[in-house]
Copies of this chain bind each other. A is one copy, B any other.
Amino acid sequence: MGLCLYDLAASDPERRFSPYCWRTKLALMHKDLAFDTIPWRFTDKDAIASSGQGRVPVLIDGDRVVFDSWTIATYLEDAYADRPSLFGGEGGRAAARFVNGWADSVLVGGIVRLVVNDIFAHLDEKDRDYFRESREKRFGMKLEDISADRDKRVGGFRDSLDPMRILLRAQPYLGGDAPNYADYVVFGPFQWARCISDFRLLAPDDIIVAWRDRLLDAFGGFARRAPAYAS
C-alpha cells in the first residue's frame, strides 16, 4: 500500500495551498515514493484525529501516522534511507532546520499579511468562520484590514529575501547543484501564495523567480500543474 497524505484544500478540492503540505509533497517526489492525497479542510479535525493533533500535513505510512512537515521530512529520510537523500548528510539536515525557521518566520510570516484575504476567498464555506476568527484574533484586526496596505508592504517583504538572492548568485539551489529539502522548505511558501493569489510577490526579473521556475518544472512539472495563478 502506498503512502497517503492529508492535504489542505480550497473549496475547489484540487486547489491545494498549504505551504507545509507542499514541502511534504516535494519531499515525497524527491524520494520517488508513490503517494495519494486526500483533500482536507481546516475544520476536518476528526479525519486526522489519529495523529493526536489538528493540522496538516499528516502522512499515513502503513500503521505509522506522522504529522508536522519537518518531522515528516526527517521520518522519510530515515525510513527510506536507500532513496535519494533529502538533506545530503547530517550537516545538511541540521542546517536545513535553520532554513526551515527562516522560511517559517520571514516567508510565511511575510506572505500571510499580503495574501490572507485571497486565502479566505478560496476557502470552502465550512472553513470560513474558523479562518476569519483565528486570523483576526492572531493579527488583532479585521481580515480585510490585514493586507489592506500590501502594495506598500511588499517592498519590505522583497528586501527580506536578500539571503536567498545572495545564495542564488553563488549556486543554483539551496541544496547545491540540485534541489533538496532546503529548497522545498523555501518553495512551499511561494507555492502557497501562487495557489491562492494573483498578487505579485516578486518582481519578474528577481533571481528568485528563476529559481522558483526551476522548482515548478522539477519532477516533470509536478508543482506547475497544480491549480494556481501565474503570479
Contacts and interface: CB of A to CB of B under 8 A. Distances in A.
A94 B97 contact: no
Interface stretch (A16-24, A125-133, A163-171, A221-229): A163-171
A176 interface: yes
Contacts of A39: none
A163 B98 contact: yes
A94 B175 contact: yes
Contact of A93 (B91, B99, B100): B91
Contacts of A102: 98, 102, 163
Contact of A95 (B98, B106, B165, B166): B98
A52 interface: no
A90 interface: yes
A182 interface: yes
The number of times this chain is found in the oligomer is 2
Interface residues of A, number: 34
B171 A105 contact: no
Contacts of A100: 166
A89 interface: yes
A101 interface: yes
Contacts of A167: 97-98, 101
A97 B170 CA distance: 8
Nearest to A177: B94
B163 A91 contact: no
A101 to B, nearest CB: 3
A180 interface: yes
A85 B91 contact: yes
Contacts of A99: 95, 98
Given A88-B89, A176-B90, A96 B97 contact: no
Interface of A: 85, 87-102, 104-106, 162-167, 170-171, 173-176, 180, 182
5 contacts: A91-B91, A95-B174, A98-B99, A104-B166, A105-B162
Q: Identify the 10 closest CB pairs spanning chains A and B, nearest first.
A: A88-B91, A91-B92, A89-B89, A101-B166, A94-B176, A95-B95, A102-B163, A105-B162, A101-B163, A92-B92
Given A94-B175, A94-B180, 4 more contacts: A85-B91, A91-B96, A91-B176, A95-B175
